[in-house]
């Protein structure tokens, strides 16, 4: 089972968020999950990969050729795939993953999260999406979802496709739940429809 981690690659990420990202990577690895992510070595992106690798985790980084230098492609992981463009990168990430955890980040992180959310809404895929919201980082975006729903642009039940996790302990609980499902059935309660 693979967990996809979306997160920011900014080198100016606050230290507390870097620590949390590394902890989440560690938790993914220690439960025997593979990790799929954007392939960079900087910011929370790099921290989560380091956490997983340092605990023997399988980490597949997927990065487009033009971002290799900008996000400093991580060669210290199990597998690094270079794609020709962003679309190929995201397609591979979505296809290889069984669940998504969204950490704090910028436009790229938001875009990835919104795309998989849209794909779930349209039933292109059916995979769980967890939004890690430390100190209310994503509160304004969540409020925007509610605002759009109040104006009829989003169905209320589609907002529930994103599960909010406020603490690292919440992430641990979700990973334990996914692991229990995986051991019991060989899958999580979501079917890849790509």
Taken in order of first residue, the domains within the chain and their CATH numbers are 2-185 (3.40.50.450)
- Identify the three-state secondary structure at position 129: strand
pLDDT value of position 71 = 66
For residues 141 and 148, the answer to whether their CB atoms sit within 8 Å is no
pLDDT value, residue 188: 62
Distance CA 101, CA 132 (A): 7
Confidence of residue 17 (pLDDT cuts 50, 70, 90): very high
| Cα dihedral 68, 69, 70, 74 in deg (nearest 10) | 60
Beta-ladder partners of 99: 3
**Which DSSP state fits 40?**
B
Q: pTM value?
A: 0.93
Mean pLDDT, rounded, for 22-37: 98
């Amino acid at each position: 089972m693979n967990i996809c981690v979306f997160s920011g690659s900014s080198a100016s990420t606050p230290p507390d968020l870097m620590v949390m990202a590394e902890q989440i990577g560690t938790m993914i690895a220690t439960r025997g999950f593979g990790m799929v992510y954007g392939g960079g070595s900087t910011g929370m992106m790099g921290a989560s990969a380091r956490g997983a690798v340092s605990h023997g985790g399988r980490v597949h980084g997927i990065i487009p050729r033009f971002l290799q230098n900008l996000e400093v492609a991580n060669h210290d992981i199990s597998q690094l795939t270079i794609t020709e463009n962003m679309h190929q990168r995201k397609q591979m990430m979505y296809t290889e993953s069984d669940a998504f955890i969204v950490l704090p980040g910028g436009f790229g992180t938001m875009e990835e999260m919104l795309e998989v959310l849209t794909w779930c809404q349209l039933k292109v895929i059916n995979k769980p999406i967890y939004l890690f919201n430390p100190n209310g980082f994503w509160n304004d975006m969540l409020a925007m979802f509610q605002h759009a729903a109040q104006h009829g642009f989003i169905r209320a039940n589609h907002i529930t496709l994103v599960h909010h996790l406020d603490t690292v302990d919440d992430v641990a609980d979700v990973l334990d739940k996914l692991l229990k499902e995986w051991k019991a059935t060989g899958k999580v309660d979501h079917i890849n429809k790509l």
